[in-house]
Amino acid sequence: MKPRVLVTRKVYPAALAILQEDCVVDYHDAYEVLSPERLQRKLQHAHGVVCQLTDRLDAAALAAAPNLRAIAQIAVGYDNIDVAAATARRIAVTNTPGVLTEATADLTFALLLATARRLPAAERFLHSGAWQRWDIDLWCGADVHGRTLGLVGFGRIGQAVARRAQGFGMRVLYSSRNRAEPALEAELRAQHVPLDLLLAQSDFVSVHVPGGAATRHLIGVEQVCRMKRTAFLINTARGSVVDEAALIAALEEGLLAGAGLDVFEQEPQVPEALRRLPNVVLLPHIGSAVTSVRSLMCALAARDCAAVLRGERPQHLVNPEVFA
């Protein structure tokens, strides 16, 4: 009997073609996110699930899935999945690292530039018909070239952002639990420093750690207060890493120059207070939103799901204990 795979939301067709070779596919062909009750009902008969960061695969959902052997997330981050509960049930969890690194680094740099140079507001001004003439201080912003960039997290995406910063002649600092190899530090001209020093010295602080309990509010009131008043905070990682209330308060009180955010604590809800601020650029979680990249992510997740269901080790396994 072919295994049964639930695809929770609309995906690129590449994923379906791969899954249909070996599996019976229960495709929820819609943008709508399944409610916890519907997800649990559908999981009852599933051997595999291809899911997205909007699906909550918590202990309750897994408890409702007695046959589940594979959770294939179409994203690199997987803080929506209770990996410990999955491991306890010997369910393999996979993700899609690598294929989205450059696209997400591009978006991070675009957001940094847009925030520093106030591009969205300047464009809205022109579209509104308000432009009268060239003025000496019209839409002036902050310098990027030659400034200091602090990367919180120096994994695949953090390093890819550091590469882009080289082209802008930036000084690059980074903080992470483990130090990178000296050769890599030299290649990227990046200096490992404690987080407090990074916050105090950077003109741009860009966040690149995973979401989840270990990094929740890593950037909180205390950290925001350590930043320069002229500095910008950029977050394309996960909303939970930054204490949004503390960030809003700091922006309102002029303790920071601005922020560029692609991710939020309660997506898709974005606090009204944040949307009202003139010095923020806000994007709807589009870090990896390049058609070819998203298609590759779908294919990768489908391949890994099918591999697990064939009893093979998948390419990107989050919980290797399951295959030990």
Catalytically active residues, by annotation: 238, 267, 285
Q: Which residues of 165-197 are buried (b: 16+ CB within 10 A; e: fewer)?
A: beeeebbbbbbbeeebeeeebeebebeebebee
Residue 99 to residue 81: CA distance in whole angstroms = 20
**Cβ neighbours of 210 (radius 10 Å):** 17
Could you tell me the smallest distance in angstroms from the CB atom of residue 198 to ligand GLV?
Answer: 23
Residue in 8, 19, 69, 97 binding ligand NAP, rule: CB under 6 A:
97
Is residue 4 within 8 Å of 24, Cβ to Cβ?
yes
**Does 76 sit near ligand NAP (CB under 6 A)?**
yes
By CB under 6 A, residue 153 contacts ligand NAP: yes
Minimum CB distance to ligand GLV, residue 104 (Å): 7
Give the one residue of 75, 161, 180, 209 binding ligand GLV; rule: CB under 6 A: 75
| C-beta nearest to ligand NAP: residue | 155
| Residue 241: strand, helix, or coil | helix
Rounded to whole angstroms, the Cα distance separating 143 from 278 reads: 18
Bridge partners (DSSP) of residue 242 are: 219
Answer yes or no whether residue 76 interacts with ligand GLV by CB under 6 A: yes
b/e string for 83-105 if b means 16 or more Cβ within 10 A?
bebbbebebbbbbbbebbbbbbb
Whose Cβ is closer to ligand GLV: residue 150's or residue 287's? 287
Question: Of residues 192-211, which lie at the interface with ligand NAP (CB under 6 A)?
Answer: 208-211
Instruction: Based on the shown chain and the rule CB under 6 A, indicate whether residue 298 belongs to the binding site for ligand NAP.
Output: no
Residue 36 in contact with residue 57, Cβ under 8 Å? Answer: no
Q: Which two tokens stand for residue 191?
A: 């200096």
261-300 positions binding ligand GLV, by CB under 6 A: 287-288
- Which partner in ligand GLV, ligand NAP, none is near 53 (CB below 5 to 8 A by kind)? ligand GLV
CA 63 – CA 117 distance, rounded (Å): 49
Residue 42, binding choice from ligand NAP, ligand GLV, none, Cβ under 5 to 8 Å by partner class: none
> CB-based burial of residue 211 (10 Å sphere; 0-12 exposed, 13-18 middle, 19+ buried)?
buried
- Of 73 and 201, the one with the shorter C-beta distance to ligand NAP is 73
228 phi and psi angles, rounded to 5 deg: -65, 150
β-strand 190-192 against 232-235: which pairing, if any? unpaired
Q: Which of 40, 87, 176, 295 binds ligand NAP (CB under 6 A)?
A: 176
The piece of 75-83, 160-168, 198-206, 304-312 that touches ligand GLV (CB under 6 A) is 75-83
96 binds ligand NAP (CB under 6 A): no
Residue choice 62, 165, 219, 263 for contact with ligand NAP (CB under 6 A): 263
178 binds, among ligand GLV, ligand NAP, none (CB under 5 to 8 A by kind): ligand NAP
Question: Could you list the residues that contact ligand GLV (CB under 6 A)?
Answer: 53, 75-77, 100, 287-288
Question: Could you list the residues that contact ligand NAP (CB under 6 A)?
Answer: 76-77, 97, 100-101, 104, 153-158, 176-178, 208-211, 214-215, 236-238, 262-263, 285, 287-288
